[in-house]
Structures are given as C-alpha cells and as structure tokens.
Structure 1
Amino acid sequence: MEHRVTTMQGIGLAVLICGFACSASAAAAPGPEIQIEDVERFYEIYTATAGRPTVEQLQRDYLDRGTDGLHTLAKLRNVTAQSIADNVAKRPEIYANAKGCLDVLPRVRQRLEVSLRELVRLYPQARTPPVTIVVGRGKPVGIGYPATGLQIGLEALCAVDWFTPNLEDRFVHVIAHEYAHVQQVAAAEQEHLTVLQRSLLEGAAEFAAELTSGKTAYSHFEPLTQGREKQIETAFVADQDKTDLSAWLDNSTLQQPGDLGYWVGYRIVKAYYQHHPDPSQAFRDILEMSDAKAFLARSGWYPGIELPTSPKR
C-alpha cells in the first residue's frame, strides 16, 4: 500500500531525540537505544530546501556530519549524496512520508524492550547495540552485522508497499530480524555466498524475529507460495550452490515482493528447530551456524515439508 504524502508537520523531533537517546543512555533506562539524530539533520536540510537538497548540501551537512551508523550504512550499501539526491528527485513522496513514520517510535521502543529481553533469555550472550535510524537512497530497509551494529533506512521501511500496513509492526519485526543478524558471526562473511548460505542467514533472522517479536519481518510470502511449496523448494535445491543470488534474494522492489530465499531459509531453520530435542541448543545452533550444508543435512527439511504454524519454545 502506498502511504499518502504527509506535510512536514512539527512532530517534536527534538523531543523524540531526547526521549530516546537521552533516556536510553541513562543507567536505569530499559529498552534499546534508538538514535535518530541523522533523521533530524536530514529533515533540517530537507525543510530548508523545500524538499530539494543539493548533492553538495547532502554531502556537507548530512553525510559528513553523520553518526557512525550512517557512515556504516553509506559504506556498506553505497549510500552517497548523489544517490540520495537522485532518489529524492525520483521518489519525492517517500521522503515526504517518512518523517511522519517517527510518530510510532515511542511504542516501538516499548515493544522492542520485550523482544530484546526474550532474545537475551534465549541467547544469553546476545549483543544489543543501539539502533541507528537514518535516511538513505530508498534502500536498504535495514542491515545488521556483528561488527557494525544495526541501521534502519527510515524512508525505505516506510515506503515498502507490500509490508504490513501497521508501521509499528514494521519497525518491531524488522529490527528484531536485524538484531538476529548482529549475533551471526557468519553474517560478516558476505562475499561469494551461495544461495543456500545466504538463504539460511536470512531464514535464521526471520525465525529469530518470530521467536522474539512474535512475527517474521517479511510476512508477505503466503500468496506467493501457497500451493506451490514443493515446486518452489525443489527449484531451490537445484540452485542451492549457485553464487548468482538474483533468482532468490535481493530481487524485491518497493512495489513488488520477492526474496523467496528468505522463505525457504526460514522453513529449513524452522524444521531444524522443530526436530531438535533441545530448543535452547537448537536456537544457539541457528544463530551460530557456520556450515550451511551440514545444517541442512541435520534439519530434517525436504521440499514441500509441512511445518507447524508456531514454533515450540
């Protein structure tokens, strides 16, 4: 669904920043730290230029002055002043819409507190770094790595037509997915992954999001897969060793869902969890997975397998 264009209302951004960043830094404050100073700085520029910031302004006043989280996203996902300016010109509505999405953050933070407590309960050594929310070039929605923490692209998250219409749910489940990636040592090794390796990394994050936040982040697969489970997964088996991921991953757009590798990987991970006699050990195995082939062999999964709706705990 396309969100309607909202005007640049005064939503108390400075107050929100204090509410998140300041309270999260206090010793007794619960919940994750959510950093939104990059968003504040972007919209200062955006508003001052009537929604038409120049490449020079974006570089000097936004990227150069950005947080470590923004610099990480820029480096890992080719977010440049030019790419942002080009996308603002191409899709102005997603930048107009995105600022209003911040209204849900107080409730998001409350729910993430519960989700992260569950993550730490299930995986006591879990790392829970701050969430940095930034504005980028229309993608990615989010990234998470063990060494660099977790970043969410506000304009991308708010613009994806096929995500749940509930913005609060979007934030909660996507951030829970990315927190799982932060735990995965194998997630740092992104070069030349096979279809199976990358699908299992994403499937593990989806499964962890379901266990900790109540739902997977990418919950659009039922209409794409219903009645075709065996057909799709048989094709996946044939492609599992390929390093060309384009048929299975990174093929969604803001308007069109895809990424069936997430769905197959989730089902393999869920099968592993359901077949393991010790749920605690199974969850550790899922997050610490290093040998995709061995994990698949132990999972009990096969194309078209029927799995219970809710995982055991």
Structure 2
Amino acid sequence: MLPWVLLAAALPAPAATRAPAAQHVVIQTGDVARFFQVLDANQGRPSAQDLQRHYLDPGSKALHGFTASRIGSMERLARAIQDKPALFEKARRCATALPTIRTRVAAALGRLGALLPEARFPPVTVLVGRGNSGGVTTPDGVVIGLEALCNADWMQADVSDRFVHLIAHEYVHIQQPGADADVAQPTLLYQTLLEGGAEYVAELISGQPANAHLRRWTQGRECALERQFAQDSAGTDLSQWLYNGPGDETRRGDLGYWIGYRIAADYAAHAPDQRSAIATLLNVRPDSAPALLVASEWRPACGPVGNR
C-alpha cells in the first residue's frame, strides 16, 4: 500500500492573509500493508522474530518511534496478536476504509491552512500497534494506531468519520507549542485547555471534534460536571478528566476534552477576531491558562461554585 499524497488546497481567504495555495501532505500506510502480510504469512500467529524482521526492521521512522513509546517490543506485540486475534481481524476489515478518508482529510487540512497560514504539515503515519494508542503527535508528525482507533466504537459510529476527526485533532496539536513541551506537573486547567483548543479548532476544520460522543452523555449532567471541574482545575490530578479511557455510561472518560472545548468556544465567542482567538488558544501555556479562562467568561452551567 503506497503512501497517499494529499493536495490540501487552502480555502479562499482575504489576499493579505491567504494561506499558501496548496500543501502536499503525505499519509503513510505502508506499515499497515506490511503488518497484514506478516500476519497472513504466519497463519495469524507471527513470532516476535517474524514481526521484527518483516514488520519493524523495514518499517517507517514513525513505527520505530511508536514501538519504543507505545508498543514496547515485538514480543509484546506478538503476545497481543495471540491474546486478542479478534482485535486485529477487526482492524483488517477497518483498513478497507482508509482510502475513503483521502478527500476529507485534504479538505480539513486545507481549512487549517486557511485559518493558520503558518501551519506545519508533517506526515501522517497509520500503523498497527497493540491496541493501547489510537493517535499521538511526535516531532515528526501524526501517528495513528489503526487497531486501537478501529476498536473505539464509543466514538463516531462511522469509521471514516473517526479517522478524519481524530487526524484533524492530532494535526492541531502539531500547531500547539505546548503540546510538545515537557511540563513536569501540568494543572488540570492547562492540560484541558490544550485538548479543548485542539477539539475546537478540529471542529472548525473537519466538522466535528474528535470526542463528539461526549456531547450526548453530558446532556443533563452539565451542572455537576462543570462544578466538579471548577473545583479540581487548579490541581495536577488529571485522572478523573483526561487520558482515562472510554469509561462507561456511569461516567465517560476524557471529559476534560468536552469541558476544554466549551471553554475554548466561549473564549472565541468573546474575542473580537477569530484568528487572534485561535492563535491565543493554540499558544496557551501554563502561565497563561488562568488568564485565558477568565477571558473566556466560562462558568459552570448552573452558576459559580458555591451558588445554590
């Protein structure tokens, strides 16, 4: 499977602020094709040595980095394949949808170029991991874990939607200096604004935030959730709000994405200029996060903490 080269044409914009006419964005999918070749050559049970020799060694730079940070080793990947064969067969079926995202991703990145003329457009690499990471950003670009995203049925029901909106979200992170910074103990507020800003801009360019499913679950729960967030926001415990999995109908995971989106949307609504608002959202840092919250005029849906 050859890499896709996407022509992301910028949408019309005023002459003084128009983005470059086009950006060539490579989406690499060769790792996916090679993974399933190794799987088929070994009757669905490849050894660590098979995966090392035929999947990782000839793999992309992104695959090597993802192995170090997320997969761990080919031994761990081989065990995952043996323990969860249905996950990888589901990924095989899901992979057939990859070509359909081409035009939609190109359009989304075109809109990003129109909003941010200085935007960077590094490659997107789709690969197969061991089910523990659907999407990350690295200094070299966006990496999508096919099998994890294909299995994220709690997100958009349509697999193509899921890929397009998550790639848009991760691509916004590429534009955020704070997303690549090493902050030892980020506050919940700061980390939520990073994710919420990415959700807000991703919706502008692709039509939905990556975690649009949270809108349904939070209906009728806004008051309690936002009051709890307001109480927790200055602390450094992220565990109830971010990176805590899908959750369930009792309490969904990653609710900080939803609240961060609401704060970002409120900030943009009160700003005199959308472009400067987006720039501020994308450039949020630990020391500027509290002022951004104040400027957004965001409040818990049922009023400030302490009101009855």
Scaled to the shorter chain, the TM-score interval is: 0.7 to 0.9
Q: What is the alpha-carbon distance in structure 1 between the residues aligned to residue 122 and residue 272 of structure 2?
A: 31
Identity %, equivalent residues: 42
Spell out, residue by residue over 1:162-201, the C-alpha distance to the aligned partner (whole angstroms, 9 max, x if none): 0112111111101000000000100012542221121111
Gaps of 5+ in 2: 8-20, 304-308
Q: 1:127 to 1:278 in 2, by over 3 A?
A: same
Gaps of 5+ in 1: 1-13, 307-313
Spell out, residue by residue over 1:81-118, the C-alpha distance to the aligned partner (whole angstroms, 9 max, x if none): 13322322232112111122232223311111111111
Pairs within 5 Å for 1:145-294:
145=138, 147-190=139-182, 191-253=184-246, 257-290=252-285, 291-294=288-291
Spell out, residue by residue over 1:34-68, the C-alpha distance to the aligned partner (whole angstroms, 9 max, x if none): 10111111111111111112222223322233211
* Partner residue, 2:292: 295
My pick for the range that moved more, 133-142 or 49-58, is 49-58
CA RMSD, Structure 1 to Structure 2 (Å): 2.3
**Deviation of 1:278 (Å):** 0.6
Q: 1:293 to 1:76 in 2, by over 3 A?
A: farther
**Deviation of 1:244 (Å):** 2.5
C-alpha contact (below 8 Å) 1:63/1:70 kept by paired residues = yes
**Deviation of 1:254 (Å):** 8.8
* Aligned partner of residue 33 in structure 1, secondary structure: strand
Letter of the 1:139 counterpart: N
Spell out, residue by residue over 1:206-234, the C-alpha distance to the aligned partner (whole angstroms, 9 max, x if none): 11110000111111113331111121011
C-alpha contact (below 8 Å) 2:223/2:301 kept by paired residues = yes
Query: How many pairs were matched up?
Result: 285
Using the size of structure 1 for normalisation, the TM-score is: 0.84
C-alpha contact (below 8 Å) 1:31/1:109 kept by paired residues = no
Q: What is the alpha-carbon distance in structure 2 between the residues aligned to residue 109 and residue 224 of structure 1?
A: 30
**Deviation of 1:243 (Å):** 2.3
* Aligned partner of residue 119 in structure 1, secondary structure: helix
* Partner residue, 2:57: 64
Q: 1:254 to 1:149 in 2, by over 3 A?
A: farther
My pick for the range that moved more, 188-197 or 35-44, is 188-197
* Aligned partner of residue 102 in structure 2, secondary structure: helix
* Aligned partner of residue 59 in structure 1, secondary structure: helix
